[in-house]
Structure 1
Amino acid sequence: MRVLQIIDSLDAGGAERMAVNYANALGDKIEFSGIVVTRKEGVLKNQLGDKVAYYFLNKKKVIDFKAIKLLKNIIVKNNIDILHAHGTSFFTAFLLKTICFKIKIVFHEHNGDRSNQSFFKNLPLFICLFFFRKVLVVNKQIESWFHQIGIKKASYFPNFASLESNDTQKTFLNGQEGKRIVCLANLREPKNHSVLIKAFAQLNLKEEGWSLHFVGKNHQDFYSENIIKLTKELNISDCVSLYDSKSDISNILSQTTIGVLCSTYEGFPVTLLEYGLASISVISSNVGFCSEVIIPNKTGLLFKSNEVDDLAFNLNKLVNDIGLRTILSTNLNTLVRDNYSKEKVVSSLVSVYKTAINEV
């Protein structure tokens, strides 16, 4: 079997990390595993394994004939059976299908807010879906929504996390050991970093030696400017650090005590699985698939999205109870390894590919 993942960039986002994870994991399982990036390279390129073939299209516009022709050449040269399109790359995959009829396309929807978008915003996707063999979605809610609009070939497919890396980058977190709170999320909506800043300040954790660390793409825009402004207004700027995109996630989490996810919506956040593999205690907003991974008072704590007081209440519980942190982190690690292991998910994915290839 010969499979090519396609993704628009290799910035450190959820869909991008999953595309890299699949490419790496398949390298040991199938005859050929590759990944093609359409628009922009990024820090995740450093995480690609030696057995993964890498290609870059350098696509400059929505319909870029030169890029599509290059993609077709890659498909033909490597005799690709399956093109696995992640997120917004679905349109490039569709364009390829118009000139490369035999290719089988599996589309992977990572957008947890898809069902809340307007019909007209989703219309390009609806049209393209008719040309795809399989549609994989990251939680049951999105699966149900696809079925309701008549896309019966959509099915839920779990993510998995991997902290394996070939990267030599070494990030050192500021702050006191044992008192670091990390949020792995790009600096943009709907990641909602401000609610964590407010909760941190409300608990006066600065005076207790705790520090806050945001690891994710910083676009140097209005969103990040507001974060910096808020930390100054609340007089905690000296204990809040922004690190931009990083690829040495395992190294970063080894320096972390508490992991937080604050999003107002999510599909299936890989971040929670990474927190689990790193055996740190977790607080998450109760959105998307999060409650399937974070079981209150068993594998972590949940708070109502966008409610500062609720987050502060739960954060205070973890900060002041080492025993609770140990129990939650151990249970989460066990849940992730038992239910979202690389071996189990990749085996299921290979079965999906085989079905797509054999369908008439």
Structure 2
Amino acid sequence: MKFDNKNVLLVLQVGTLGGAERQALGLGKFLVNNKNCNVDILFVVSNNRTKEFNDFFNTTGIKNVFYFGFPHVVLRRELSIKNLKRLKWSIQYFLLLKKELNKNKYDVVVPFLNTPSKISYYLYKLLPTVKYTFWHQLGLDFLKKDIYESIAINNMPCIIGNADNCFDIFKNEYVVKNKVFNLLPQYLTLKKENRNSDIIKEKYNINKEDIVFGMIAHFKSFKYHDLALKVFARLAKETEKVHLILLGNKDNDEICLEIYNNLSESIDKMNISDKVTLLSNEDVTDVLNVLDIGILLSLIEGTPNVVMEYMLYALPVISSNHPGCIGLLQDSKFLVNNTEEEVFQAMYKLAANEILRESEGARNAKRIKKYDIETYVNKLETILTNSFE
């Protein structure tokens, strides 16, 4: 299967610019510009879009954005009035999708994350022109284990994950043939842009001579900003001229805001506000241009975009040793367990040794070159060809 001249529907949850959404928009842009595709988007959870999402979207050439209300595509294994209502709602939703989308004659439906994947299976069955789709498992996502999901997963010709551990969730919950699993790490969505680091440091009140650590990640419970902060506070007592940036988006939801506020309170209590810059909804490229060391500590990951971006900027990376991170960083000595001592030792070694920082960064910059959009699309085309033809 080749994407050339195809009508493509991207299925997303919401219009925030997380890793999955950045992958989707970047793919859409490439398909429009390089494959002469007509590309649309279907939102299946909410039609709300952040400024960051819209800024990226406006560069892509993607034509239409659809949203047909919240999808009640859940059917429990129970006999109840509520479940009968769910059946009614889901049938109404499917019929609406078929009515509104059939006229666009999509050839390929590309989902991002599990709820869009479930919807995509039924689009594959409902829309006669759709010949290709797949289940797309990315990072930390969960299964609802309902009847619709079970039907979709057990009949989907192709499941794609961006790291080996993405398949564990299926193997634990469903009996799925091994041949449908396909490993496809995502591509690097960001283009490197060199900016004046002195100006940016002045903007964020960072001393020019400081060694700057940074963790760029959503303020979510499975991202360990608090661990990075706690270990950095210990480092700052032992090492002069270090600084930490924590960047996320507090406005995604109430949980993000709560985590952001808790971090702010912790910084004040630790009396390190002059050593830590807590940012929300700031320019990622600005932050990448002032970092000396990238950090990602978390409960679980697929193949994290931010680690790829650290590598693009030739940074040494301290990362939790998840399979997707190992796939990127390979034999790095700075893949760590999420313990204070291991993280501290990694921070201390890199802060103390400029030559080590440069050598690690150079290796990472070399490794990341193979994660480009052209290679990704070629591999996706091969997987779909082998799965459907």
- Bucket of the pairwise TM-score, normalised by the shorter protein: 0.7 to 0.9
- Note if 1:229 corresponds to 2:265: yes
Distance 2:356 2:190 in 1: 24
Q: Which residue of 2 aligns with 1:46?
A: 55
Seen in structure 2, the aligned counterparts of structure 1 residues 332 and 74 have a Cα distance that, compared at 3 Å, is farther
Q: Which residue of 1 aligns with 2:314?
A: 279
Q: Which residue of 2 aligns with 1:204?
A: 236
Q: What runs of 5+ residues in structure 2 fail to find an aligned partner? A: 1-5, 74-88, 194-198
Amino acid at match of 2:242: W
Seen in structure 2, the aligned counterparts of structure 1 residues 77 and 173 have a Cα distance that, compared at 3 Å, is farther
Q: 361, 375, 378: which is aligned to 1:344?
A: 375
Q: CA RMSD in A?
A: 3.1
Q: 229, 240, 247: which is aligned to 2:276?
A: 240
Q: Deviations over 1:82-102 (max 9, x none)?
A: 101111322332453464254
Which sits farther off after the overlay, 124-133 or 212-221? 124-133
For the 8 Å contact 1:184–1:261, the answer to whether it is kept is yes
Seen in structure 2, the aligned counterparts of structure 1 residues 165 and 200 have a Cα distance that, compared at 3 Å, is closer
Seen in structure 2, the aligned counterparts of structure 1 residues 4 and 61 have a Cα distance that, compared at 3 Å, is closer
The Cα of 1:110 is off from its aligned counterpart by 0.3
Distance 2:238 2:25 in 1: 37
Seen in structure 2, the aligned counterparts of structure 1 residues 136 and 74 have a Cα distance that, compared at 3 Å, is farther
The Cα of 1:35 is off from its aligned counterpart by 4.3
Q: Deviations over 1:241-293 (max 9, x none)?
A: 332234x4333311221110010111111111111112122110112311222
Amino acid at match of 1:142: C
Q: Which residue of 2 aligns with 1:105?
A: 133
Distance 2:93 2:313 in 1: 39
For the 8 Å contact 1:24–1:51, the answer to whether it is kept is yes
Amino acid at match of 2:102: V
Count of aligned pairs between the two proteins: 346
The 3-state SS of whatever aligns with 1:325 is helix
Seen in structure 2, the aligned counterparts of structure 1 residues 207 and 165 have a Cα distance that, compared at 3 Å, is closer
For the 8 Å contact 1:187–1:216, the answer to whether it is kept is yes
Distance 1:291 1:144 in 2: 17
Distance 2:40 2:344 in 1: 41
Which sits farther off after the overlay, 317-326 or 64-73? 64-73
Seen in structure 2, the aligned counterparts of structure 1 residues 123 and 229 have a Cα distance that, compared at 3 Å, is farther
Q: Which residue of 1 aligns with 2:13?
A: 8
Seen in structure 2, the aligned counterparts of structure 1 residues 295 and 134 have a Cα distance that, compared at 3 Å, is closer
Q: Deviations over 1:177-236 (max 9, x none)?
A: 453221111001210111000011011269723222222221454322322222222112
Seen in structure 2, the aligned counterparts of structure 1 residues 345 and 254 have a Cα distance that, compared at 3 Å, is same
Seen in structure 2, the aligned counterparts of structure 1 residues 68 and 329 have a Cα distance that, compared at 3 Å, is farther
Q: Deviations over 1:30-63 (max 9, x none)?
A: 2315241411322233223343334141634535
Seen in structure 2, the aligned counterparts of structure 1 residues 50 and 141 have a Cα distance that, compared at 3 Å, is closer
For the 8 Å contact 1:273–1:336, the answer to whether it is kept is yes
- Note if 1:314 corresponds to 2:346: yes
- Note if 1:262 corresponds to 2:297: yes
Distance 1:61 1:237 in 2: 44
Distance 2:146 2:268 in 1: 39
Amino acid at match of 1:20: L
Normalised TM-score (structure 1):
0.84
The 3-state SS of whatever aligns with 1:203 is helix
Which sits farther off after the overlay, 122-131 or 278-287? 122-131
For the 8 Å contact 2:9–2:42, the answer to whether it is kept is no
Q: Percent identity?
A: 21
In terms of fraction of residues, the more helix-rich structure is 2
Seen in structure 2, the aligned counterparts of structure 1 residues 21 and 71 have a Cα distance that, compared at 3 Å, is farther
Seen in structure 2, the aligned counterparts of structure 1 residues 179 and 70 have a Cα distance that, compared at 3 Å, is farther
For the 8 Å contact 2:68–2:97, the answer to whether it is kept is no
Q: Which residue of 2 aligns with 1:176?
A: 207
- Max Rg structure: 2
Distance 2:228 2:306 in 1: 16
The 3-state SS of whatever aligns with 2:233 is helix
1:1-360 alignment to 2 at 5 Å? 1-38=6-43, 39=46, 40-42=48-50, 43-48=52-57, 49-57=59-67, 59-60=69-70, 62=72, 71-72=97-98, 75-87=101-113, 88-97=115-124, 99-103=126-130, 104-112=132-140, 121=145, 125-143=149-167, 146=170, 149-152=175-178, 153-164=180-191, 173-177=204-208, 179-204=211-236, 208-218=240-250, 219-221=253-255, 222-246=258-282, 248-297=283-332, 301-305=334-338, 307-337=339-369, 339-355=370-386, 359=389
Distance 1:70 1:216 in 2: 36
The 3-state SS of whatever aligns with 2:265 is helix
Amino acid at match of 2:375: K
Amino acid at match of 1:175: I
For the 8 Å contact 1:212–1:241, the answer to whether it is kept is yes
The 3-state SS of whatever aligns with 2:133 is strand
Normalised TM-score (structure 2):
0.78
The Cα of 1:7 is off from its aligned counterpart by 0.8
Distance 2:187 2:12 in 1: 17
